[in-house]
Structure 1
Amino acid sequence: MKISSNFDAGSIEIVSAETFDDIQLRIRRDNAAEFAQWFYFRLQGAAYQNCTLRFLNAGECAYPAGWENYQVVASYDRVNWFRVSSTYANGVMTVEHVPLANSVYYAYFEPYSYEQHLNLIGQAQGSGLCDVSCVGETVEGRDLDLLTIGHQVESDLKVWVIARQHPGETMAEWFVEGFLNRLLDPQDPTARALLDKATFYVVPNMNPDGSVRGNLRTNAAGANLNREWLEPSLERSPEVFHVRRKMEEVGVDLFLDIHGDEAIPYVFVAGTEGVPSYNPRIAALEERFKHYLHLASPDFQDEFGYAKDAPGTANLSMATAWVGNRFDCLAYTLEMPFKDNDNLPDDDYGWSGQRSLRLGEAALTAIYAVINQLR
């Protein structure tokens, strides 16, 4: 029996792996911060064995409530992922599984590798509708890719979509893949109508360093990028620094920041009620966007989510608050679950990469519904 994680986004600490029925593990912290929740590793040599894996420090992780009613994902080929029986009690998460092959992978959520990211960039460019540019480098020198889709004329509305500020929230890049698939489809009438009115600026992965390292929430310097928007620096948060600079250059009329939530088993959005510039026009746009996103995807709901900020109390170091306030625009953080969507549960797969992808496709309908009211 062997357990390994020396691959893209791999992350685990082995305490003991002597017997199949008592595999003891610890979830590793981010490389330069205290956050711990993401894991991704390979188990070999355990085919047809009754395996018990115990994550001993689950109760010490960043979001212990995330383990309640949560099921680990597993795959034999890293393409098809499914849920396996998992329980959480007394600070320990326990997985009971009989692998049907000698090599099996376990992860917190369906991974989205750096190779997939590069393939996504290449496929988007190959559509002939997309310009790929590097707006800057990460802490460790990786390219920060920006996809620009549209006519890029001054009269266009400017729609921004960013994802994976928190690298462990891989569902965010799955969302972007679906979003791009539809936006770049020349036979899709909604996409064509949108591109007649708007230029889209898409950053599929804001945090490539953290993604490759297997971090949950921070970049290679230990920065939580979604707390850096008020005063980003080239030393600590160049990813935000470069994207913010590009926004100042071209403007923003609609902004979506795509995330995943560890504890809440629903799809929801969080807006800008607490920023100084919030006004009835933005409030009406928010309601219209939510209404049409729900029509486009029953996975979306507006009953459960984060408490709304009181007027003037928003944290302007967060992307949605800073962008919404700076550009007086419709801005939303969209959250998807790590668990399942309790409104439409799926016992085999839970919330998944494919469901995230479909939600990304549906988001174009909501954008189309508000595009003529943005300004």
Structure 2
Amino acid sequence: MERKMEESTVRDGDTAGSEAGGEDALVGNVNKLTVSPPGYSGALRKGHLVFDACFESGNLGRVDYISEFEFDLFIRPDTCNPRFRVWFNFTVENVRETQRVIFNVVNFSKTKSLYRDGMSPVVKSTSRPKWQRLPAKNVYYYRCPDHRRNYVMSFAFCFDREDDVYQFAYCYPYTYSRLQHYLASLERRNLPYLQREQLGLSVQQRRLDLLTITNSEAPGHLSPEKEKKLVFLTSRVHPGESPASFICQGVIDFLVSQHPVAQILRDHVIFKIVPMLNPDGVYLGNYRCSLMGFDLNRHWQDPSPWAHPTLHAVKQLIVQMSQDPRVSLEFYIDVHAHSTMLNGFMYGNVFEDEERVQRQAVFPRLLCQNAPDFSFSNTSFNRDVVKAGTGRRFLGGLLDDTSYCYTLEVSFYSYMPAGSNAPVPYTEETYMKLGRNVARTFLDYYKLSNLIKDNRPTHIQSSEVKSPTGNGKGNGVGRDAVDRQREKSQGVRH
């Protein structure tokens, strides 16, 4: 992209962007920042864009004026950790109708990105409050010589309503406040099988919520002396991975519903769900870290009660439940989003016992049959040394051999339906649908393990959407043909 010759003087002059200091000095978000042409000192005019990220989950650290039509945007690094710069979420106002601009996001910390494969940012405005993805044809991802050959994501946009405030984000935001409103609305329903409690507080004194979903007294289903199965699910340990919250809400919505499958599951299983493990990071607009700059998913082995209080509280609870003879902790699932892969998929652990390896593969195989966006061929089992501090790895070593620990990943961008070569971009609703399908897969699993007798009315189907290529054996046939070889060679972090 050709730059104006005067760019260096613009950046060195008294511009709004230069006040933030160099790229490495970004420590805060822009706050109603007016970006005018260099040297301009008159009254604010329409078209002199005003940028803001001083709101919940906001992130934009600096804006450089390149020309009337072009602006360089710098992501603010995670608090106390300059390594992570991926999530952005900001507003633009004071636009001129039909004003066309190019925004260049210039300081991503990751080089591999789904922007290469057609992903685009999401946008909404005050008169159109539903998030939508920008057209992929307006988004470019390339190595830029003007920014030390870093990768830059540029997108073109035309403002069409002068009075609107426009908001752009890396993916659909799901804020701490949104979660609090959602949980409060659940509480108001006074459901006898739902309990909400405060498990602890974050460093900045935000709630760490724990939901318990089960029919505490299920007549005729379990004898009093028989232990009850326990499923534990966590989400948003990495704050920028907002799709995880939509999946988690889908799980909760289904489990508290009056659907016959949900009622059967509540009779036989205790579900414990921590919807937001890193509330400070989410609130602050971080991508991967907590307030103090810790990647909490590397500290499960020895979490500090003062530096990692939310993790410490959850680990204590899981250890306590694993020693409770009245319950059998069978599943731990930690929900994430992935920035380079398509589809939903899982990571599991590696074991010497081949029979345990096969048992661990059962749940993802069943999920593949229930969810058309879930890929069993992308699912993998590993013992990578750098993942030793993750919830999946640590708890996999702590719990006994009847327990299964997974990381559930979902693409920030899209899934490839079986038999198709055209990616289908995820929406908020399809993320939640994956969550609903995860929840109902537990019925298939427990039917298979004979905990739940298959004496339901024949009209009740356990899966919401059957894979069109499913053969009834839960092996994900048909998925391999559409999972691209390129994805298998890409590095993964979770």
Q: Please confirm whether the aligned pair reaches a TM-score higher than 0.5, indicating the same fold.
A: yes
Higher RCO (C-alpha 8 Å, min separation 6) = 1
Q: Write the distance in 2 (CA, Å) between the matches of 1:246 and 1:20.
A: 56
Equivalence map 1:269-308=2 (5 Å):
269-273=346-350, 279-304=353-378, 308=381
- Alignment-derived partner of residue 336 in structure 1: 410
**Rounded Cα–Cα distance in structure 2 between residues aligned with 1:353 and 1:79:** 13
Cα deviation per residue 1:137-168 (whole Å; 9 max; x = unaligned)? 11211111001111458822111110000000
What's the secondary structure of 2:406's corresponding residue?
strand
> Are residues 1:9 and 2:39 paired?
no
- In the TM superposition, 1:61-72 aligns within 5 A as 61-69=109-117, 70-72=119-121
Structure 1: segments with no counterpart, 5+ residues: none
Partner of 2:458: none
Work out which of the residue numbers 73, 76, 98 in structure 1 matches 2:158: 98
- Rounded to whole Å, the distance in 1 between the matches of 2:337 and 2:209 is 21
Deviations 1:159-188 (CA, angstroms, capped at 9, x unpaired): 1110000000000011111111110002x1
Deviation at 1:124, TM superposition (A): 2.6
- Assess if the C-alpha contact under 8 Å between 1:254 and 1:374 holds in 2: no
Q: 1:314 to 1:113 in 2, by over 3 A?
A: closer
CA-CA distance at 1:66 after TM superposition = 4.2
The answer to whether the aligner puts 1:137 opposite 2:196 as a matched pair is no
Match of 1:190 among 246, 261, 280: 261
**Residues 264-292 of structure 1, C-alpha deviations (whole Å, 9 max, x = no match):** 12211001126xxx644543333221222
Q: Is the 8 A contact 1:282 1:330 kept in 2?
A: no
Matched, 1:351 2:426: yes
Alignment correspondent of 1:108:
170
1:238 is aligned to 2:309: yes
Give 1:323's match in structure 2, choosing from 385, 390, 395. Answer: 395
Query: Structure 1 residues 360, 116: CA separation in 2 closer, same or farther (over 3 Å shift)?
Result: same
Match of 1:53 in 2: 103
- Structure 2 residue aligned with 1:35, among 84, 89, 92? 84
What secondary structure is seen at the aligned counterpart in 2 of 1:80? strand
Could you tell me whether the CA contact under 8 Å between 1:314 and 1:321 is conserved in 2? no
Partner of 1:261: 338
Structure 2 distance, partners of 1:48, 1:180, is: 43
Moved more, 324-333 or 9-18: 9-18
Query: 8 Å contact 1:110–1:170 — kept in the other structure?
Result: yes
Q: In 2, Cα distance between the equivalents of 1:342 and 1:13?
A: 34
Q: Secondary structure at the match of 1:181?
A: helix
Q: Report the 3-state secondary structure (helix = DSSP H, G, I; strand = E; otherwise coil) of the residue aligned with 2:182.
A: helix
Q: 1:217 to 1:286 in 2, by over 3 A?
A: same
In the aligned structure 1, how far is the partner of 2:207 from the partner of 2:330? 25
**Letter paired with 1:254:** F
Distance 1:189 1:360 in 2: 17
Letter in 1 for 2:172: E
Give SS of 2:409's match: strand
- Answer yes or no: is the 8 Å Cα contact 1:264–1:305 preserved in 2: no
Match of 2:242 in 1: 170
Q: What SS class does the counterpart of residue 426 from structure 2 fall into? A: coil
Deviations 1:281-340 (A, max 9, x none): 54333322122212211000122355x325x96833110111222113111111111122
| Alpha-carbon distance in 2 for matches of 1:374, 1:232 | 37
Which amino acid in 2 is paired with 1:24? D
Residue in 2 aligned with 1:86? 139
The question of whether the paired residues in 1 share the 8 Å contact of 2:66 and 2:72 is answered with: no
1:365 maps to amino acid? R
Shift, 1:57, TM fit: 1.5
Change (3 A) 1:314 1:369: farther
Change over 3 Å in CA distance of 1:73–1:230 after alignment to 2: same
Give, in whole Å, the separation in 2 of the partners of 1:359 and 1:213: 27
SS at match of 2:374: coil
**2:182 alignment partner, one of 100, 105, 120:** 120
CA distance in 2, matches of 1:288, 1:100: 51
1:71 to partner: Cα distance: 0.9
Aligned equivalents of 2:265, 2:251: Cα separation in 1: 13
Segments of 5+ residues of structure 2 without an aligned counterpart are 1-48, 144-150, 218-225, 323-328, 452-494
TM-score (structure 1 length as normaliser)? 0.91
Query: How far 1:48 moved relative to its partner?
Result: 2.4
Q: Secondary structure at the match of 2:113?
A: helix
Contact kept? 2:347, 2:382, Cα under 8 Å? no
2:299–2:390 contact (8 Å) kept in structure 1: yes
| Cα distance between partner residues in 2 of 1:300 and 1:237 | 32
Equivalent position amino acid for 1:72 in 2: P
Distance in 1, Cα, partners of 2:116 & 2:52: 26
- Write the distance in 1 (CA, Å) between the matches of 2:121 and 2:65: 19
| 2:16 aligned partner | none
The Cα shift of 1:87 comes to 0.9
Deviations along 1:23-68, one digit per CA (max 9) or x if unpaired, are: 210111001112110000001123422121011213xx13543432
Alignment partners' CA distance in 2, 1:206 and 1:31: 17
Output the CA distance in 1 between the equivalents of 2:385 and 2:52. Answer: 45
